[in-house]
Structures are given as structure tokens and as C-alpha cells.
Chains A and B, each alone.
Chain A
């Protein structure tokens, strides 16, 4: 039986860092923080992935992209494992990922501002119920929330009141 050299998990992580998110292709799956583990189980490579939002239609595409990328690298036995706990949080988006989002025109999440259901306290903390999200284009903090939900479940719609550019905010979860 031929001994095939197995790539180390570190190497696999590196490959996955080049797989783009299907909906926001400027950031990779590792930037997004959804790859939870890479490990060998005997001769099978097990990649553990956590979904962003439970209904996110990108989930199936992400699994396929992972499979495609790893098959191209010669991985034959592959298992994708879904893990929902601990639940994904935008805190796991890397610093590099945040910079890439900003450069792409999406305001990155502001940590610690996730909705928690404590409505009245939250409204008081944020002037007029609006979280101050700096415009990714001109940097102005003079912005207005247009809608709690944007082009995907993970984003909210904002408008810059200075440069008038509409933009997406990757909301905190």
C-alpha cells in the first residue's frame, strides 16, 4: 500500500484561506471565521464548518466550494461536518477580513453591538435607535440606517448623509 503524504491541517487552513465567500468574494472563508476545525480522522480529512445564519442560502455553495478546492489539491477522502455550537459570531471575522470588507464598500461589524432583545436599553444606547456606523467610502459618521436587513441576512442597509453613498453594514451577531 502506497503511503501518500498528507498535507498538515495548517496547510489545509492555508488552502481554505484562498477560498472566497460566495456572496462577499473579497473575503475568504477563514476571514469570515466559519471554518472551525481541520483534522485528519484516519485517512479522511474532516473540515468542520459553522453556518453564519441558519437560513443562509450560501451554506450549500460554501460546502461545495470547500470540496472543490480540496479535491483540486488532491484530497480524496473528505468529510464536511456542520457544527452549530458555539454559534457563529461576527467577532470571529479576522482583522484582515474587516479591512477587505471596508475596502470593498461594506462597513465591518462593530463588536459588542449585536441585538440582544433588550429593546429599550438598546434604543437609549444608540441615538434614535441608530448605531453610528462610519461610511466605508468617506469615513463620515453622519450616516443613517435605512433598513435592518440588507442584500443578505447578515447585512443592514445604511446611507451616508455626507457623500450620499448607500452602503451595506455587516451587522454584529
Chain B
């Protein structure tokens, strides 16, 4: 009886396989396609921000020097690329997305800097959506203002001193300004980096690979609405009456869902390994050993998905809940921004959400760390969800008339 029901459940659930797999391939193809096109266009994969520069002819020589220095300074050269434009042209390009930002130098900027009455440079961004990168850019602009202030203090100090001595300062003042500019950009190796290795130290690739995998697993649940979201209380009760308890039914459903996800993950692994062999730039830190290690994470994912659909009892409602809860929990657990950007209580909360527990485990598997403690968490959460599921179904069946059936 148990085996027959299990076979039926597997047959039913495995119907979802092509749909889930096709969606995974589609998302993978879109993201992979973007990355591949960008790699072909930009050999380093990163093209940086394109900044249009608007400046008058009289200032262009100094601005060219500035651009040259910025484009040849250690990390900065990867961040920005500059192109000279007229104001109208720049505005048009900014609005059409050809450039990412527009830097406008006010009229006679260099002369006004000499006279100490310069107006601020105008920096325009194209989109209304200023992200965290805009804030970092703003902080960087404060640093540039600081460099400018120190260099100007030096040059004006020289001018004041020369005036005091009744000397002509024009040539020396230019030379000093140039020297300041050279010094500002000759800071290579002033700061040396030392990496510390905590137990959960992750490279950026490992970090986003772990977050990406957890999101993929949870989003697979969205495709299960057509099968898991169907209310079958009558069938459950009938099966119970012929000796297949609710516990057994749920356990078998859970196992069949687990098998479905393993199958999906297995085919995903094959594609990853295939791509790694044929595409030079493609790298995703998952191999056969990592695959086996990650499997317990799928237990937790399956229990979460099952509890949502069973308790919602509606495919579409369950889908929306899985989607929103995954996005919100993922946000709090640091999938979109690093969690260190959040207050401590949010970081703490993020670690205890299912997404945080899954992330800890998957990242430990991917980066080859000890998985014992995260595994215990995964199993505890899985059991807790299954227990809650059984209790929830019991309550619902009692409410929907199972008790009456018993009485009959």
C-alpha cells in the first residue's frame, strides 16, 4: 500500500520535472547569455561606468590631464571611463542610457579654481533609482573634494607667500599644482591588504553562488503550485481510512518532492559541468562532491515548500507566498546586499531565517568548510517544518469534518 502510494505520488510530482527544468534553463540562459555577451565585448567582463564630460575648450587641457590620471590609477581605471561630450549631446546620451553619468564643469572652471571662487561640478545620474553605488560614489566625491582642498591650500599658500615677497608666481604655481596632481595619483602600495580567514570566509563568487543556489532551490517551489497546491482533504481522509496515515502520506509526498528536486539539481549540475568544459570564462563552484554535500539543503527547501502549499491549500496563493517570503527573507539574509550593511538585529534575524540557515549550509559546502554545525541546523529546521506541517494538517482536517467522519 505504502509503496503503491509512493509510486503514484512520484509519478504525479515528477510531471513537474520538465516545467521546472525548462524554467531553470531559461533563467540560466538569460543570465548566462548576458554574461557571455559582456565577456565578448569586454575581455575583463567588467566595463565600468561611462561618464560623459562637459567642459569648455579653455579648460579641456587640464581636464584631459585629470582624466588621464584617473584612467591610469590602480583600481580607479576599472571603475570609470570618460568621453567628452557637449551638454546637449550629453543630456541626450544620458537619457537614452548610452552614458551612465554626466559630469558638467561650470564655465571657466580652471580659472575660477585659480581665483578661489569656483562653483561645484555638476554630476547627473540617469535613473531615478539611486542605489547604494550612488552613495559610495557620493562618499568618493567627498574624498576628491578633500584632495582638492589640500592641493588648493598649497597652491594658494604659495601665491600668498610670493605676493608677500613680491615675486611673480604664475609659473611656479602651475608647477606646484601639477606636482600635487602627480602626488595624488602616485599612492600605489601605500595600503597593504591582509585577509583574515574566519570559518565562514567567502569570496564574492562563492557568496553569490551560494545565494543564487538557495534562491534557485526556493524558486523551484513556484512551479509546484499545479500539483502541490491542490486541496485533497477528502482523498487524504479516504487513504487514512484504508490504513495510510496522514504522517505516512505527508512523508511519502515529501520524499517524492525531494526526489524531484534532486533530479533537477542533478541535471543542473550536468549543465554546469558541461558549460565549465566548453566555455573558458564560465565558472560555478559546484562539482560532484559539493552536489552530494548540498543535498540535505534540499530537505529543508522541500519541507518549506510543502508546508506552504499544504497550509495555503491554494496553488496561486502558495506561489505568491513562496515568492514574496523568499525575496524578503533573502533580502534580510544578505542575498542582495551584504548583510554587514544592515543593523545588528537584522543580521541576527537573517541568520535564523530559513534562507540564512540554507545560505550558511550551502556556502559551507561550496567553500569546503566544516558542515557539521550548519547541517544540524538544516535537519532541525526540516524536522520543525515537518512537525508543523503535520500539526497544521491535523488541525485543518479536524476543522473540515474528519472528526465527523470518525464519529460516523
The yes or no verdict on A and B being binding partners is no
Seen from chain B, the residues whose Cβ lies within 8 Å of a Cβ on chain A are none
